[in-house]
Amino acid sequence: MEKVILVRYGEIALKGLNKSYFVDLLLRNIKAALKNLSGLKLEKIQGRFIVRLAPEEYDKAVAALQKVFGIVSISKAYVIENDFEEMKKLSLELMGDQVITEKTTFKVRSKRANKAFPIKSMDLNNKMGGYLLENNTNLSVDVKKPQIMFHIEVREKTYIYTDIISCLGGLPVGCSGKGVLMLSGGIDSPVAGYMMAKRGVEIVGVHFHSYPYTSDRAREKVIELARIMSSYTGPMKLYVVSFTDIQQEQLLKCNEKYTTLLMRRGMMKIAERIAYMEGAMSLVSGESLGQVASQTMESINATNNAVELPVFRPLIGMDKNEIIDIAQKIETFETSILPFEDCCTVFVPKHPETRPKLEKVLEEEAKADVGELIEEAIKNAEILRF
């Protein structure tokens, strides 16, 4: 009797003629997520993937598969031949592994994908349910809310299992192009990257630092965030860009209340240049409408004007509590709240402009000549891979 993991995909099953592209991409991402586990073998069957591993690796595989976008659920299953007597024997053994009291309820749910098997699904439910009842007097059937759900899938072989583990769903990373994420050390931007990756976008991170005004610990914090994110996004590249000289030039020559906006426009321009270098088609930001001065509609319009590529803001309609809930779920929250300054929190003006007019922003921007400084910042960027 062989043990495997059944992997189900959801949204991509609805794709048309290019479905095989999505299926093959998901299979590649699964292989990458499990590459360090011994005995790995993957098989593609109709509507499912079958994962085989060394016995000691199954729990690690379940944890890893729960972070692969495109998978809707998985089950640890036993595989046998399409033989009813074998099914009865295995089902009785599996039921023996369950904690059964005098009032334990169960239900059998069968799926007969292999129409050559002589017993139809409904008949198989009844036959197997009756057999289990005969051999365990503590069991009773509840078709609405059973405590134990007993699944039988008859395909080229038969797969039997009791638990279905929910996964993240979404689309396989890589099917929706590449985006450059502006990754600060805060709560929002890792969540924004996670949400875009869930829609199939490959993520490249860009982090800006202002050493010595920001510390090495702030840099290490962002590196740790990128490492956590990569368990969802797959292999991820991070550009670490010094923004100190640009920020100082703007602080010296521009009206203080516009400096946050000018800083954001400078970051956008650098991120766009890196996007072109990486073959990316968009920028990704963790902005949420109205959260801070640089996230009013007027301010967002002024920063958008700095670049030509589309800027995706998946958190734009969410409040802070909603964002925190996701950050906790993906385990970036505890790292994000470490109290180290980043370049978005140093040099904050006392009275930032919250309703900027674009012509005034451009007028202030022209006072600081940062073109060569931007070139130097990109040229000297540190590139890390996760």
- The DSSP secondary structure of 356-370, one letter per residue, reads --HHHHHHHHTTS--
Answer yes or no: do 210 and 150 share one domain. Answer: no
66 is an annotated ligand-binding site residue: no
Residues 305, 358 contacting (CB under 8 angstroms): yes
Pairwise CA distance, residues 376 & 371, whole Å: 9
Domain boundary among 166, 188, 212: 166
Instruction: Report DSSP letters for 211-236, one per residue.
Output: TTTS-HHHHHHHHHHHHHHHHHH-S-
128 is an annotated ligand-binding site residue: no
Answer yes or no: do 250 and 377 share one domain. Answer: yes
Pairwise CA distance, residues 119 & 226, whole Å: 51
351 is an annotated ligand-binding site residue: no
For residue 344, the model assigns a pLDDT of 67
207 is an annotated ligand-binding site residue: yes
- Which residue, chain included where needed, has tokens 């967002």? 300
Backbone angles phi, psi at 62, to 5 degrees: -60, -45
Query: What SS3 class is residue 122?
Result: helix
39 is an annotated ligand-binding site residue: no
312 within some domain? yes
378 within some domain? yes
Answer yes or no: do 358 and 317 share one domain. Answer: yes
87 is an annotated ligand-binding site residue: no
Pairwise CA distance, residues 191 & 183, whole Å: 10
Range of the domain at 298: 178-385
Number of domains in the chain: 2
CA distances from 209 to 237, 286, 291, 346 (A): 17, 17, 22, 10
Answer yes or no: do 278 and 333 share one domain. Answer: yes
171 within some domain? no
Answer yes or no: do 133 and 196 share one domain. Answer: no
- Structural Rg of the chain based on CA atoms: 27
Answer yes or no: do 56 and 155 share one domain. Answer: yes
Residues 160, 151 contacting (CB under 8 angstroms): yes
151 within some domain? yes
For residue 102, the model assigns a pLDDT of 73
Answer yes or no: do 228 and 108 share one domain. Answer: no
Edge-to-edge strand list for the sheet holding 282-284: 311-312, 282-284, 178-182, 202-209, 237-242, 382-385
Answer yes or no: do 114 and 186 share one domain. Answer: no
Using 70 as the pLDDT threshold, list the residues of the chain that sit under it: 99-100, 343-346
CB atoms within 10 A of CB 364: 21
Pairwise CA distance, residues 330 & 274, whole Å: 26
68 within some domain? yes
Answer yes or no: do 86 and 187 share one domain. Answer: no
Answer yes or no: do 182 and 77 share one domain. Answer: no
Answer yes or no: do 162 and 203 share one domain. Answer: no
- This prediction has a pTM of 0.91
264 is an annotated ligand-binding site residue: yes
Residues 182, 311 contacting (CB under 8 angstroms): no
DSSP state letter for 239: E
Answer yes or no: do 159 and 221 share one domain. Answer: no
- Which residue, chain included where needed, has tokens 């069957």? 45
Domain boundary among 131, 166, 201: 166
